[in-house]
Chain A
Amino acid sequence: MSPQLQAAFALLPEYLGWHVLLSISALVLGLVISLPLAVAASRSARLRWPVLALASLIQTIPSLALLALFYPLLLALSVLSVSLVGRGFSALGFLPSLLALTLYSILPILRNGVTGILSVDRAITEAADGVGMTARQKLLQVELPIAAPVIMAGIRTAAVWTIGAATLSTPVGQTSLGNYIFSGLQTENWVFVLFGCAASAVLAMAADQLLGLIETGARKRRHSLVFAGIVGIVLGAGVAIAPLIQFGKPEAYVVGAKNFSEQYILAELMAERLERTGAEVSRKEDLGSAVAYRALAAGELDVYVDYSGTLWTGVLGRTDNPGRKAVLDQLTIELKRRDGVLVLGSLGFENTYAFAMRADRAKALGVVSLSDLAREAPKLTLGTDIEFLSRPEWKAVDAAYGLKFRNKRSFQPTFMYRALSGGDADVISAFSSDGRIAADKLVILTDPRGAIPPYDAVVLISPKRAGDERLVDALRPLIGAIPVGAMQAANYSVDRDTAKATPAQAARTLAP
């Protein structure tokens, strides 16, 4: 077995356990909500249309967006709860995932429930009245049992959808089989991507077959089949969830990471240092950029690495550039004052937007700085990643140097580098810690007017852990210990196409 496959299997108990726990909780909650709603909607024609329309509307929201929307909503509720009862709750992870998936599971159960109940023959409901049943007895003893096969078909659909959509809970901080897919996509580890897809597909099929057994049993009135299906589901879920009992230890340190290779590597580096002290560590990876800082300030993460420029503009809302040291100093003071967040210090390298050119081309044109580039720009093509041209950094650079390129083209990062080496682009917007800068022997143009804000990688610690000596002592040796060349090499070992390293392996090369 390949080492990547071994690594994937090693993570399976934790990922699968969470995935199953999340999916089952969402389905059960979905059932509890949608069955009574289906009964009410089948009784009242006036209620039926709005309820079904609302459920359909929810279904049209892309599942990733639905998951993402719950984070700010829950955060606001948590803040409200703190001010009302003095206690908040986590707006990240299980709760937003559960709520979004629950909403997602409602439509098929609701729709089939209404259809099933309404399709019970009028003669049979009249007979139920005629023999002296109460409305409740009629529902429980006649309508629901007769509608059961149709309702079960709806539950099967909901189960397959929920298990598939649960992979999307990874970006809001909930571990699931989606962790394979998201981190695999980011590091171009296709073994992980395929493994995650296959695992969630197998899980969905298994759930569908077991529920199908119950459906067949309900249709043919064979209680043994229904029983076998239920036993299968309970056993399967129990086996899958059991490993979580040891993963879910309280008071573990939570190390966060955004969704790119450098972040995974740095998270592993910090996690391993903490684990070496005997601490329990859990990881929350693939967090959205805006989510991560708020999660840290709210205490849902204990530590992660962010970049000074991102915090400067995104959190403090500043647009000026007083220089690398001043930015870091003011951030340290301001974040402490505002949110109680501890800026432990810079790791020693920057990951900033940088204009990169092939060394031979830069030399031939005599371009060293952005000022030189402005002179040559009308003859050149700029290649960028997809978001760069709409970012404030580009506007700042353009304002400072007046870059009038002959042509501007956007690429996926991998293709941007290929365009540069192939000559389709003359200069690209790179990240300064990207391993491909060194590997492709690119030169980075200097920024004499200081238009691009500094992006020092800084370690942030949550307010509640700011005084935690074990954490601070474990991480302080990393401050100033990672030169940009080392980070570039580590990133490259994860990003390159062949002989890829895992983030954990790359982290070990950085250890001071």
Chain B
Amino acid sequence: MSAAAIELTGVSRHYGAVVALDGVDLAVQPGEFVALVGGSGSGKTTLLKTINGLIRPDAGRIEVAGEDVAGVVPHLLRRSIGYVFQETGLFPHLTVAENIAITPRLLGWDAARMARRVAELLGLIDLPADVSGRAPSELSGGQRQRVGVARALAAEPALMLMDEPFGALDPLTRDSLGIDYRTLHDRLGLTSIMVTHDIAEAVLLADRIIVLAAGRILADGAPAHLLATASDPTVRALLEAPKRQAERLRERLGA
């Protein structure tokens, strides 16, 4: 069996007396699209950030593509992993093109290769080429988040980590960006891990849903499989919610 894209063994993290992660074991195969769901304080964001070293675990072992991340210089690790988060964090003093090309620049790509990559990515994330010279403040929220995705993809990572990437967008933009990202995931053969508090989004986009509570994995599996087999009442309630919502929507809209 080939190396897992990510493998966590017994990963724990405490903040004072608060347990954020409590001995998590997890393996993600290349090409999977995994959604991490759970309430606030369940440990889902902490789990995501231990993978690219933004948070160091107190105990346990994390491997990315078969390599123990404890032995990799953190900033070099992060250049090989795409990272998108809710506030986007575009650099306000750089243009859109400079934002997208930041990781390639840190990796020392030449200018021509960076320019080609920026043009390619703007097409990929469906933004007009003329935004490349603009400041982030001149873009809409949806456009900014698309630039954030492009920046994460710029250095051609195999692994994408996303922390509520579409959480701050209006429903329409959120829906279209979600669908577009899923298409990219399949086209580029990415491994994606997305933190979300929106179970409907998780069901619609992910191949596999992991439910976290109090730093432990409560359930793990494909959406339909989880709904069929989960015995934990919390998990069942969580997964049934979008189904009930969908039924009510159909009734009320008369479709």
Contact = CB atoms under 8 A, between A and B. Distances in A.
A132 B87 contact: no
B93 A131 contact: no
Contacts of A132: 75-80, 103, 106
Contact of B52 (A128, A130, A221): A130
A124 interface: yes
A126 B78 CA distance: 12
A142 interface: yes
A349 to B, nearest CB: 70
B87 A131 contact: no
14 contacts: A121-B89, A123-B87, A124-B89, A130-B54, A130-B83, A131-B106, A132-B75, A132-B79, A132-B80, A137-B75, A142-B91, A146-B91, A221-B93, A221-B135
Query: Which one of B75, B77, B151 has the highest number of Cβ atoms from chain A below 10 Å of its Cβ?
Result: B75
Nearest to B87: A123
Interface of B: 52, 54, 75-80, 83, 85, 87-93, 102-103, 106, 135, 151
B92 A129 contact: no
Interface of A: 121, 123-124, 126-134, 137, 142, 145-146, 221
B54 A133 contact: no
A129 B90 contact: no
Contacts, number: 58
Contacts of A137: 75, 106
Contact of A131 (B76, B92, B103, B135): B103
A145 B106 CA distance: 17
Contacts of B89: 121, 123-124, 126-128, 130
B106 A127 contact: no
A150 to B, nearest CB: 13
Nearest to B102: A131
A123 B144 CA distance: 14
Contacts of B91: 124, 127-128, 142, 146
B100 to A, nearest CB: 10
Nearest to A221: B93
A146 B79 contact: no
Query: Which one of A128, A129, A133 has the highest number of Cβ atoms from chain B below 10 Å of its Cβ?
Result: A129
Contacts of B85: 123, 126-127, 130
Nearest to B151: A131
B147 to A, nearest CB: 11
Contacts of B106: 131-133, 137
A134 B74 CA distance: 9
A129 B103 contact: no
A145 B79 CA distance: 22
Closest 10 CB pairs of A and B: A127-B89, A132-B79, A123-B87, A130-B83, A132-B78, A123-B89, A132-B75, A131-B103, A145-B93, A134-B75
B83 A146 contact: no
A123 B88 contact: yes
A221 B137 CA distance: 13
Contacts of B90: 124, 127
Contacts of B102: 131
Given A126-B54, A131-B78, A221-B135, 8 more contacts: A121-B89, A124-B91, A127-B88, A128-B91, A130-B85, A131-B103, A132-B80, A132-B106
Contacts of B54: 126, 129-130
A285 B83 CA distance: 66
B135 A129 contact: no
Given A123-B88, A137-B106, A129 B93 contact: no
Nearest to B161: A130
Contacts of A142: 91, 93
A145 B91 CA distance: 10
B107 to A, nearest CB: 8
Given A123-B85, A132-B76, A146 B103 contact: no
B103 to A, nearest CB: 5
Contacts of B103: 131-132
A223 to B, nearest CB: 12
